[in-house]
Amino acid sequence: MNSESETDEASRGNEASSSITNSAPGNSNDENITHSCADPINNQDIMKRAAAKQLIERYFYQLLDGCGNSDCDNKYCASSGEARNLTPNEAAAEAIKLFNKEARLCDALPNKVPRTESSHCESGAGTTSKEATNKNDTIRLDMPSSSRSPSNVWTEEKKGETSHNVSNADDHSNLSHNNGAPLTEERIYQLCDECLQNKKRQPLKRALGEAFTQPAILARSFPSKANVDVDLENKEKVKESKAMCSSSDPDKDIDSVAGPGLDVASCRRAFQYLSKVPSDYYSSTLVLALAQLAEYLRVELSTSKKMCMDDIVNCFVIAFEVPDLGCSDYLEVALPALCHAAEFLPVKGQAKLARIWAQHCKETLRHILETLQQVITLKIISTNYQRWFQVQEDETVTLATKLMKIVYYANMLAGVMEPNTLREEAVVIASQLDPLGDALDHLYPLSSMKSSKQPLPEDPLGIELDVNVLDARKPHLPFEEFYNEPLSDTVEMDVDFANYKIKVSNGKKFSFLKYPFILTAATKSLGLYYENRIRMYSERRVSLLQAVVGAVSPMPFLKLRVRRSHIIDDALVELEMIAMERTLDLKKQLVVEFEGEQGVDEGGVSKEFFQLIVEEIFNPDYGMFTQQQDSHTVWFNPTSFETEAQFTLIGIVLGLAIYNNIILAVNFPMVVYRKLMGKKGSFEDLSDWNPILYKGLKDMLEYSESDLEETYCQTFRICYRDVYGNNIFHDLKENGDDIFVTQENKQEFVEMYADFLLNKSVEAQFKAFRRGFVMVTDESQLCTLFRPEEVETLVCGSKNFDFNELEKSTEYDGGYTSESQTIKDFWSIVHSLSLEDKRKLLQFTTGSDRVPVGGLSHLKLVIARNGPDCDRLPTAHTCFNVLLLPEYENKDKLQDRLMKAISYSKGFGML
């Protein structure tokens, strides 16, 4: 069936379903109910096709199985005896024809479209699907009127009738006729067994369709045992508690009120058993039912709000426990619809859903996450996004991302969480006057994106859950599994950053930077780069304006002039003066000049400056930092003779490196980045700070014998060494040497020991260091966008030295191509180098021996031909990552000249 005919048929299906609903007496107020639901769940065409498909399926099962009424006189129904016996293929073809001419549909179709209450096929020749089946009865939908659609035929029922079983030629147990009953584990088992043994899929499909299209029934499914065993004398109390959640509508039946508590484990076992049945037996039914459920919940949350929030959340929990249906319709229709409905959950509802998933659905979290990732990835690779249609405007992607945020918080809660009391005190930087800083804001649209020193907004869901990513010591699933690389590669970060910073008159535009967990660190670093560059531009504009009006001399850049022989002294003195006089100058673009050397800093000189200053500052001989032998990391010297101002300046250097997008060769343990982000060090941080000490303390905690005191002979007095190797003793408690560690106080000892080493012993040094760092980054979104592990990558670069990626991303100029013999020889030599020599090559060509965030594929290296064969060494423009390589006559000569160049490359000028 082509797309045009599908659309036409869907339109006729809408009209037919509208007539069924509106022709019944008592529906005068709902005259335009069906057509009022013009807003689609995800896509109007998808929902039209779904509605048409469902009507055709009704005709199909009516022709094949009948309505179950032995007195039926509908010639298009197998139960009437007038219809001829058809094969499934013939019934399918005939169903399409009946749909096109809007033939009569029986009012009762227990095999495919069950009712909450029984009904039967009314007699009367000439009655079509457009006519009411009984003039004295009112056909209603157990849904808000604004949400009715052709797919709601699942929930048609007659008011005033008594619920009873409907006979069905294909049913073989009373259980199969239990219309209106919630799903239970036992019922699913029996339905699945019946389906597998008798090859009769209709009872199972009917039960699933009925439950999933009526939230009132679904919310009461899989009840917990505590709620099932309510005594008879307490039923009135239960009824009263349910009435609190019910509407004032006297016609609303008991199914619409709050149901019993949900047994998630029972639900999961039931659906695991359901997966034994071939998915094609029930997948189409369940897809349509889930789509209708989502529409009901969306309308319920956005308008009527007649259901309890607990019931709505239970419906979401059950819906996402559904096993993999193995069909594209689930990803194209049902799941986007559920994501759309979840968007309307209030913050408290989102928090409740996150807690349930964290406490009871740990096994399901990976499935939910992978399914959402699949929806996003499939949509991205199948869509050609343009500047006029960005991925931020694709609701399938954005709604799935919003739902993934709930999964993200649930994932943290399901893992190992630390108390939120271990927080570093906030660093307050005194605001300085920025004269004329906003004078031209109305002339420069980008200036509206300039940050202010207001507290960064926190996520409302995080506040409601009282969860911060810093408290997640070990999430249930690794954070990296939330990255979506196709999305990260597709998103235009300049557009996304503008959406992130600018508030438009017609509301806020979607930005993935508000959901940073889904973006890779490399993509987010580009957003941070835009923010920093805009700030630099703003400071340069202000400086030039001040010069024009004669306020001060023009200083558009943060300019440092240093001597190589005194690089530490010169740099720290200049930075100290700037920090004291005008901190805002630190937000300007950095320009470095080495005294006595000619060169314009386009980025390469700054890279070398940072490398040289880091080498000296973190040298243990300098005395400010110590070397941790076991972990090969550097740590603050608790007995340093340097002033706190010196540590503040080191923090400024680190902040400037991030602000100017420069990677440093710094080997801090992870606890430093956690402390910079605002989380104090704890026992688990010792694992990479001092692995041997951590293992020893871990063994103590796991030691369960009663002789711990005699075995370890450890008191609350500890010993550590200063930078000179001298032993220093410290009492964790008063008279600590008299207090032995026992089974009762060992946990306290371990926590106090870690707190002293990581926090108290270096409190003054680290506080000054963090203050300097915050001076540069206080207006940045660094803490909002990045986790501590990602900040380490920003500072130190990637640890993946994959030179195959570099070869693939390298460009050629001056006559070279990837097929040139010199180029082939060059890469053959490079791949054979040791890791140390590869670092030297990176240092020579880019000014840094570190791999940029995202790997070497993000390093745009250019190799240009620099004349014919000669005795000159290769040269490089580190500012632009350009390697100038003569066309040497053979491979041996190329290797000799290249190795000499990368081994003696420091300094500016001739080698």
The partner residues of 557 in beta bridges, in order of sequence, read 589
Supply the DSSP symbol for 300: I
What count of other Cβ atoms lies within 10 Å of the Cβ of residue 738? 11
Helices 891-903 and 821-831, packing angle to 10 deg: 50
Q: Are 697 and 750 in contact (CB under 8 A)?
A: yes
The CA dihedral of 530, 534, 539, 542, to the nearest 10 degrees, is: 170
CB-based burial of residue 726 (10 Å sphere; 0-12 exposed, 13-18 middle, 19+ buried)? exposed
Q: Which two tokens stand for residue 633?
A: 């990391």
CB 603, CB 587: distance < 8 Å: no
Active site residue 719: no
**Residues 201-229, buried b or exposed e (16+ Cβ, 10 A)?**
bbbbbbbbbbbbbbbbbbbbbbbeeeeee
Tokens standing for 376? 């996003």
Marked catalytic residue, from 192, 267, 783, 879: 879
Phi, psi for 740 (deg, rounded to 5): -85, 150
**Of 29, 28, 34, which is closest to residue 13 (Cα–Cα)?**
34
Bridge partners of 559, per DSSP, are 591
Whole-angstrom Cα distance, residue 904 to residue 888? 20
Query: 168-188 burial by CB neighbour count: b if 16+ within 10 A, else e?
Result: bbbbeeebbbbbbbbbbbebb
Q: Do residues 354 and 402 touch, judged by C-beta distance below 8 A?
A: no
Q: How far apart are the first and last CA of the chain?
A: 74
DSSP character for 301? I
Phi/psi of residue 123, nearest 5 degrees: -80, 160
Q: How far apart are CA 9 and CA 209, in angstroms?
A: 23
Cα 876 to Cα 604, 813, 837, 865, 880, distances in angstroms: 10, 13, 16, 12, 9
Closest by Cα among 304, 399, 409 to 352:
409
The DSSP letter of residue 278 is: -
Residue of 93, 23, 19, 15 lying closest to 48 (CA atoms) = 15
Residue 427 DSSP symbol: P
> Per this entry, what is the length of the chain?
911
Six-digit token string for 618: 């973190």
Burial 804-843 (b: 16+ CB within 10 A, else e): ebbbeebebeeebeeebebbebbbebbeebeeebbbbbbb
**Maximum CA pair distance of the chain?**
106
CA angle centred on 892, ends 819 and 874, rounded to 5°: 70
CA 278/CA 60 separation, integer angstroms:
20
Q: Residue 256 carries which DSSP code?
A: G
Q: Which strands, in side-by-side order, build the sheet including 862-865?
A: 811-813, 862-865, 882-885, 875-877
Candidates 279, 342, 114; CA nearest to 213 is 114
Q: What radius of gyration, in Å, describes the C-alpha atoms of the chain?
A: 35
Q: Dihedral sign, CA of 474, 475, 476, 481?
A: negative
- Cβ distance 13 to 52 under 8 Å? yes
Q: Cα–Cα distance between 863 and 652 in angstroms, integer?
A: 35
- Strands 625-628 and 633-636, how do they pair? antiparallel
Which residues are known to be catalytic?
Answer: 879
